[in-house]
Chains A and B, each alone.
Chain A
Amino acid sequence: MSDVRAGSSPGAPADVKSWLSTALDAWFEEDAGRWAFRPFALHIGQRESDLARDLRTIYAEQPAIERARWRQAVRDLVAERGTSAAFRPALEVLLDLATLMPAPDVLDVLPRLVTDADGREANRLANKVVAAAVSLSSPTRSALDCLERIRTSPLFAPHHAGLVLTALCEVDPDRWANHVANLDFAMRALAAKHLSDRAPLRLYARAILRAITLSRVTAEALGELWNRLDCMDAPRLNWFFCELFEGKSSLIEYDHDAPRLWMRDNPSVCIPLEGKLPLANFDLKVLTPKPLDAEQNLRDTKGPADAEGAREQRVRPRGYRGPGPL
């Protein structure tokens, strides 16, 4: 650790990867504390949970060329030592550091961590990997590959589904229907296992709609999503369809006569629903019945007082209690 690069910032280690690797080993295995990180020891506190933040502060004070070496060192260390069980506490620090830098190059090596991990701490590591991947994602091929590989890894859990789906739609908005379909089952599991109401689903739906924008909610995309879902009442039972179109608080409103779509909370964002829906029995009217038709029908049978409540009932299947396992 005394090997210092001449001509760069004072005290900068010549081989950042080797320095960082040795220092992390000394911190976690030899209990060397801050002195493991000489010549930056006084920049390091005592708390493991702050170690990544302290390292990030040191990193931020380096010149640009040195910072590039640091990012490369973090990426290489994750790749080379990340799957070792003994290195796992240090790996968690490196993942936080990569997120804080940020070092998006680490996305290439993240999926391997959850593919190869096992043991009691594997789920905890998966949470860290998902958090880092979501945080580091931007519209790039490597981000898309990383998220897709995480989605299909054995440690992918229902509680990851909302964050990963949102990130996928931000990274690859043109194929949002494909991503929503791929994660339909996981989102149902998330709702069934973790949610007591639909508010978090609304949160994800709003974030996804913001990412894909209304212009991508086309007849073609809606048809593609419907084709991918595997039950007769698919649009009604897919959480995203419901958040977009169902009921009086849906995110999108639909004009049956035009036809056109607009954002409920911003009617100035309005687009025609172009193209032909691919299947005869796929009809947005089922989800968003023309209010006058529905109310007239209800007045005929029950009277006006029940119109709104019964309208809600009409657009939901009998026994529907929000998204969940079928």
Chain B
Amino acid sequence: MAEAFEMLVRLAEEENLAESGDFVRALAVLGRGDYPPSMEETPGPMWLRGNAALTDGESLAEATCVQPLSTLRHLVLDETVADLMAHGLSLAPETLDSPSPVMRDAIAFWRQQPVERRRLPFQRGSCLGPPGGLLWFTSRQQFEAAVAPEAGDARGQRARDSLGLDHRQMGETLIAVHFPQSAVADSSARPTFIDAATHKRFMAWPEDEAGQRDRAWGRTVDLEAFSTGTTVIDGCPERVAPEVDAEKLSDDGLFEFEMLGTVALAAGSGEGADSVFATRLARGRTVDDLRTSLTTIIEQGTAA
């Protein structure tokens, strides 16, 4: 922790950072270790990793990550892109408006296709998650339980809300990619605030006591529950892993994608929502309390 703060200060001096938003964005630099070339003697990626591993049973289960539809272009073969275009999906990045009528129908078409039709070949050399960055995933079982009550396009909205994806905006169409958890069993960890960096709806610890006992998984913020002021806003379990080579994700070179739907509401992202969320996270603690806690942590780290 102490090293993290030292690097944050060095980076702030190097890049003349002054605004609080820049300091938060700088966490991503620490997490990925991609400092400016002008900085010397920099450490590698800085993960404050939770040390709880997945159980054997969990390693045999399936994981799910949710991505924008346009991500498919980077995962699949060009021939598959052609096939998807023939079936009405242009795979252009979303324009933050609602999809065109032909896209809407195509999304509905793909949502109804059987699983064997939705198993697509990976592009050689592709990976799930950004190179050098983090792949965020959840348990498929719990994800499906979260989105199951919804039908049709509403599954996209529920996926966004239950996974706390507040950066996914209205008009974006979401897909789920399912893969065996064994592919990330050894490399994954419980996420920390450094991993979250600029993500605005991250909780280090769930609100629910039962969730707090689960050391291996973090909890997303359920944006719908947050926006309606529900008592507990815990969403799905979540872990992070470095990007995973596509070859490790299946034996047959195919992966299963699921068409979810288009985000219709920016739940949990309205005016003043950041302040409400910060107050909720503080749980009655003042800025001075937080400063004291951080100072203690840094001093303990330095002494160690």
Q: Footprint of B on A, CB under 8 Å?
A: 32-35, 41-43, 45-50, 52-53, 96, 99-100, 102, 123-124, 127, 130-132, 134-135, 157-160, 162-163, 166, 170, 190, 193-195, 199-200, 203-204, 206-207, 210-211
Q: Is there contact, CB below 8 Å, between B82 and A127?
A: yes
Q: Is there contact, CB below 8 Å, between B83 and A46?
A: no
Q: Is there contact, CB below 8 Å, between A194 and B25?
A: no
| CB-CB nearest in chain A for B106 | A203
Q: Is there contact, CB below 8 Å, between B85 and A127?
A: yes
- What are 30 A-B pairs at a CB distance below 8 A? A33-B34, A42-B17, A42-B26, A46-B34, A46-B132, A47-B130, A49-B70, A50-B130, A96-B70, A100-B94, A124-B81, A127-B81, A127-B82, A135-B92, A135-B95, A159-B83, A163-B85, A163-B88, A163-B90, A166-B102, A170-B100, A190-B86, A194-B87, A195-B86, A199-B109, A200-B86, A204-B88, A206-B105, A207-B100, A211-B101
CA distance A127 to B85 in the complex (A): 8
CA distance A80 to B32 in the complex (A): 35
Knowing A102-B95, A203-B109 touch, does A47 contact B85 (C-beta < 8 A)? no
| Chain B residues positioned under 8 Å from A34 (CB to CB) | 29, 34
| Chain B residues positioned under 8 Å from A123 (CB to CB) | 78, 82
CA distance A199 to B29 in the complex (A): 47
Q: Is there contact, CB below 8 Å, between B102 and A42?
A: no
Knowing A35-B37, A130-B85, A134-B92 touch, does A46 contact B133 (C-beta < 8 A)? yes
CA distance A276 to B106 in the complex (A): 36
A interface SS class: helix
| Chain B residues positioned under 8 Å from A160 (CB to CB) | 85
Shortest CB-to-CB span from B99 to chain A, Å, is 10
| Chain B residues positioned under 8 Å from A193 (CB to CB) | 86
Q: Is there contact, CB below 8 Å, between A42 and B34?
A: no
Q: Is there contact, CB below 8 Å, between A52 and B93?
A: yes
Q: Is there contact, CB below 8 Å, between A46 and B130?
A: yes
| CB-CB nearest in chain A for B71 | A49
CA distance A308 to B71 in the complex (A): 46
Shortest CB-to-CB span from B2 to chain A, Å, is 22
Interface check B131, CB cutoff 8 A: yes
Shortest CB-to-CB span from A176 to chain B, Å, is 14
Knowing A45-B133, A163-B102, A200-B86 touch, does A99 contact B28 (C-beta < 8 A)? no
Q: Is there contact, CB below 8 Å, between B78 and A124?
A: yes
Which of B71, B96, B101, B109 lies at the interface centre, i.e. has the most chain A CB atoms within 10 A of its CB? B101
| CB-CB nearest in chain B for A34 | B34
Interface check B43, CB cutoff 8 A: no
Knowing A50-B130, A96-B93, A99-B92 touch, does A158 contact B86 (C-beta < 8 A)? yes
| Chain B residues positioned under 8 Å from A134 (CB to CB) | 90, 92, 100
Give the 7 A-B CB pairs with smallest separation, nearest first: A47-B130, A194-B86, A42-B25, A207-B102, A131-B92, A159-B86, A131-B90
| Chain A residues positioned under 8 Å from B133 (CB to CB) | 45-47
CA distance A183 to B106 in the complex (A): 20
| Chain B residues positioned under 8 Å from A124 (CB to CB) | 78, 81
Which of B25, B78, B93, B95 lies at the interface centre, i.e. has the most chain A CB atoms within 10 A of its CB? B93
| Chain B residues positioned under 8 Å from A35 (CB to CB) | 36-37
CA distance A258 to B264 in the complex (A): 43
New A-B contacts (11) at CB < 8 Å, excluding given A42-B29, A207-B101: A42-B17, A46-B34, A49-B73, A99-B95, A123-B78, A135-B95, A157-B82, A159-B85, A203-B102, A206-B105, A207-B102
